[in-house]
Amino acid sequence: MDRPRQSLLKSWYVAFAGLFTAIKTERNVRIVAVCMVAAFALAAAFRVSAIEWIIVVLCCGLVMVTELLNTAIESVTDLACEERHPLAAASKDTAAAATLMASGTALIAGLIIFVPKIINLICCWL
C-alpha cells in the first residue's frame, strides 16, 4: 500500500511538532534542552575554538537524539504492551541506557573542554 508523499515543508512541520510535543510533555527532554542551552552559552562565553564548538554541538545533538529515540521507544512499547513484560522492560531499559551513554560521553567531552577554561579564569581572578 503506497502512501502519498508529503511535501518537504510538511515533513519539517511534523518533525518540529514532534520536537515541541516532546519538550512540552517529557521532563527529560526539557532537561536535555536546558543543558544544551547552558552548554552553548558556556561555549559562547568562553569563545571556544571551532573544533570545540563542533564537539559541543555534536555531543548535545547526540544526547537529544538518543533522548528523543528513548521517548519514542517507550511510547511505542507502552502502546504495544499494556501489562508488564520482560521484553518490554528490556527494550525500555536499553533505550534509556543509550541515553545514559550519550550523556556520559557528552559530560566527559564537556569537562575536557570547559574545566581548563574555568580553572584558567579562576587563576586569573586570584
82 catalytic residue (yes or no): no
Secondary structure, 3-state, 27-76:
HHHHHHHHHHHHHHHHHHHCCCCHHHHHHHHHHHHHHHHHHHHHHHHHHH
Angle between helices 86-125 and 50-80 (to 10 degrees): 160
Catalytic residue among 67, 74, 82, 83: 67
What amino acid positions are annotated as catalytic residues?
67
